[in-house]
């Protein structure tokens, strides 16, 4: 009998149901007039004297636990059904606000998507960098102005440590880790010691591109960038490349696209030229390849770098760069939902 009672106590402890009729059936089985507790009490007479105390205590424990369980289950189920009764279930539910993607994320995703289709992988590097990866390995001469305190955030205690001023540093990290063919883009945050204005910020985002293989030519660079510009800004977009200078590319160029806002006719965004600059690019300087143990006799490559804020401003006609960082919902809500 002892073990039978213990078994039922276990059953009570484990019983759970959300169905009020099942709970009631359970109550009748254990606590009903002809239930188990009543039965155990009537069998009590036959229990030998020396066991009476223990058995009696156990039957009482079973009774109390069963009562407690049934009451608490009935309470919780009863409350739910009362709540339901007091509410008009035909009313429409309260609206769920759907968030939207930040415009920088929308444009970042678009750009990553376009280059993924061309077989570019994604690589990342640290935001806190050293002089080698940001400047030296990229052929910046000692006296280059970018190495100046006025342009770069350095760590006071150790001038070798700085916040990266461009994502070109990830090019170097990629060349250290991989051997050609390399085809990768590196999106990320960059930092410059600039006064914040409608056109400049001390924190912004860049996407860097790097392609190294045998026989990579300037024509490959141009074709890749033309495809990119048309995919991002529309089929009718035209590009032009102007000679420029970067320490890590030779030759170097800046790329303009035909102004989206005026269709090339001239407006204040393109300063009445019909063209707006969107990125810097060029053929990787043989010195940079050499510095990174890649044979410049065997391999050539191209690189490019663009600012995500600048491209977003052109794509959406946003006039003030600070809007990206202020998190004003009236601004953010204008962009595509996150779905
Ligand atoms: N790192 C340059 C900047 O921050 C952008 C850039 C220009 C990157 C030319 C490149 C490149 O890879 O080839 O202004």
Q: What is the CATH number of the domain that holds 107?
A: 3.30.930.10
The residue-averaged pLDDT of 22-47 equals 89
Q: Tell whether 234 and 320 lie within a shared domain.
A: yes
Q: Does residue 183 sit within a domain?
A: yes
Domains contained in the chain, number: 2
Atom of ligand 1 nearest to the CA of 282: 13
Confidence category of residue 159, pLDDT binned at 50, 70, 90 = confident
Using CB distances shorter than 6 Å, the residues near ligand 1 are 166, 168, 208, 246, 249, 280-282, 303-305
Q: How many CB atoms lie within 10 A of CB 237?
A: 17
Instruction: Check whether 172 has a pLDDT greater than 90.
Output: yes
Q: Tell whether 51 and 120 lie within a shared domain.
A: no
How many angstroms does the Cα of residue 181 sit away from the middle of ligand 1?
20
Q: Does residue 90 sit within a domain?
A: no
Q: Tell whether 35 and 138 lie within a shared domain.
A: no
Confidence category of residue 100, pLDDT binned at 50, 70, 90 = confident
pLDDT at 84: 63
Instruction: Check whether 308 has a pLDDT greater than 90.
Output: yes
Residue located nearest, by CA, to atom 3 of ligand 1? 166
Q: Tell whether 148 and 33 lie within a shared domain.
A: no
How many angstroms does the Cα of residue 58 sit away from the middle of ligand 1?
81
Hey, which of 54-63, 118-127, 145-154 has the most confident mean pLDDT? 118-127
Residues 175-194: tens digit of each pLDDT? 999 999 999 999 999 999 99
Atom of ligand 1 nearest to the CA of 305: 8
pLDDT at 120: 98
Please tell me which residue, 125 or 90, carries the higher pLDDT value.
125
Residues 43-93: tens digit of each pLDDT? 888 888 888 888 889 899 999 999 899 888 888 777 565 556 667 788 888
Hey, which of 6-15, 133-142, 217-226, 311-320 has the most confident mean pLDDT? 217-226
pLDDT at 270: 87
Q: Does residue 23 sit within a domain?
A: yes
Domain around 59: 2-84
253 forms bridges with which residues in the sheet? Answer: 243, 281
Mutation test residue for ligand 1: of 175, 208, 251, the one with most atoms within 8 Å of CB: 208
User: Per-residue b/e over 319-332, b at no fewer than 16 CB within 10 Å?
Assistant: eebebbeeeeeeeb
The residue-averaged pLDDT of 280-293 equals 96
Q: Does residue 91 sit within a domain?
A: no
Q: Does residue 93 sit within a domain?
A: no
Q: Does residue 319 sit within a domain?
A: yes
């Amino acid at each position: 009998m002892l073990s039978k009672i213990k078994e039922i106590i276990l059953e009570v402890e484990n019983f759970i149901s959300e169905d009020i009729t099942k709970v009631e059936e359970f109550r009748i089985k254990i606590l009903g007039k002809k239930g188990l507790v009543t039965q155990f009490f009537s069998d009590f007479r036959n229990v030998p004297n020396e066991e009476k105390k223990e058995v009696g205590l156990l039957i009482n424990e079973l009774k109390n636990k069963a009562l407690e369980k049934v009451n608490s289950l009935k309470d919780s189920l009863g409350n739910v059904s009362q709540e339901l009764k007091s509410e008009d279930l035909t009313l429409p539910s309260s609206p769920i606000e759907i968030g939207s993607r930040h415009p920088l994320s929308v444009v970042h995703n678009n750009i990553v998507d376009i280059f993924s289709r061309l077989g570019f992988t994604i690589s990342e590097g640290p935001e806190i960098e050293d002089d080698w990866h940001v400047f030296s390995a990229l052929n910046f001469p000692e006296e280059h102005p970018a190495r100046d305190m006025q342009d770069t955030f350095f760590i006071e205690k150790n001038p070798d440590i700085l916040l990266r001023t461009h994502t070109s540093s990830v090019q170097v990290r990629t060349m250290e880790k991989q051997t050609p063919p390399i085809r990768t883009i590196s999106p990320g945050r960059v930092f410059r010691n600039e006064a914040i204005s409608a056109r400049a910020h001390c924190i912004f985002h860049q996407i860097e591109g790097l392609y190294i293989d045998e026989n990579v030519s300037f024509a490959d660079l141009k074709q890749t960038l033309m495809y990119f510009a048309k995919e991002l800004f529309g089929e009718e977009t035209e590009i032009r490349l102007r000679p420029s200078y970067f320490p890590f590319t030779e030759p170097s160029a800046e790329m303009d696209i035909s102004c989206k806002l005026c269709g090339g006719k001239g407006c204040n965004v393109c300063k009445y030229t019909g063209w707006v600059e969107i990125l810097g690019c060029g053929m990787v300087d043989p010195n940079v390849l050499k510095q990174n143990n890649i044979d410049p006799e065997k391999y050539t490559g191209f690189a490019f770098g663009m600012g995500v804020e600048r491209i977003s401003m052109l794509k959406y006609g946003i006039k003030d760069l600070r809007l990206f960082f202020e998190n004003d919902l009236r601004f953010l809500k204008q962009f595509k939902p996150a779905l």
